[in-house]
């Protein structure tokens, strides 16, 4: 059984979606860089181990990431899932978890990397928006996309309504991709990513009008 750790900084709605999905893997621990993150309470309510590793207690990003890496090793983790984890990871840490760490980003990558995606979509006047589950690489929001949730931007959408609709999609596709990894439907190999035994050349798409 694949052992999963989830990295969080905030309320943990995606963590809750992962816990509610009854994955065939096991969430063995949750790490937060913020002791007040409600995600920790969600994990404790589900009897999942938690660890608070506050970045401000470490002199550099490298020392902070080393502490997280050691905790992940202590839990014997196979898969790291970023769920609202608001820290940029060092290239060294990312390299140690290459092919074993995924993130979800609120845009249809490769467009709108970084912050304020809903605002940027509205400003540009895009017809479609959504979210992308991708492998984490040293370059921000640039790892291979595994799945995307796609929705149509409505005429009267604002940043708040778009954010809420995208969150619904996140809670759908993130647990699905995690389960694919857990049950072997999606596999990271040295030759590339396989989905149902075939090379994954484009992200799997889920649509919601």
**Residues tagged active-site:** 105
Distance CA 8, CA 96 (A): 19
Specify whether the CB–CB gap between 50 and 43 falls below 8 A: yes
Alpha helices in 82-187 (DSSP H): 91-96, 117-124, 159-183
Distance CA 65, CA 53 (A): 9
Establish whether the linkage from the previous residue to 110 is cis, with ω within 30° of 0.
Answer: yes
Which tokens hold the place of 109?
A: 């990558």
- DSSP assignment letter at 37: -
Which tokens hold the place of 14?
A: 């995606």
């Amino acid at each position: 059984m694949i052992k999963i750790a989830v990295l969080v900084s905030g309320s943990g709605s995606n963590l809750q979606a992962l816990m509610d999905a009854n994955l065939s893997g096991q969430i063995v621990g949750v790490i937060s860089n913020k002791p007040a993150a409600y995600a920790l309470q969600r994990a404790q309510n589900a009897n999942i181990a938690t660890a608070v590793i506050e970045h401000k207690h470490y002199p550099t990003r490298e020392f902070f990431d080393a502490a997280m890496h050691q905790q992940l090793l202590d839990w014997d983790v196979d898969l790291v899932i970023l769920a609202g984890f608001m820290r940029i990871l060092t290239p060294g840490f990312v390299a140690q978890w290459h092919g074993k760490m995924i993130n979800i980003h609120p845009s249809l990558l490769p467009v709108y990397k970084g912050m304020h995606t809903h605002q940027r979509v509205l400003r540009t006047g895009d017809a479609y928006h959504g979210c992308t589950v991708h492998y984490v690489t040293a370059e921000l929001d640039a790892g291979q996309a595994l799945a995307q949730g796609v929705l149509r931007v409505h005429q009267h959408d604002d940043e708040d309504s778009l954010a809420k609709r995208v969150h619904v999609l996140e809670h759908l596709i993130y647990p699905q991709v995690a389960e694919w990894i857990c049950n072997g439907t999606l596999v990271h190999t040295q030759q590339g990513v396989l989905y149902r035994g075939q090379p994954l050349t484009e992200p799997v798409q889920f649509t919601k009008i």
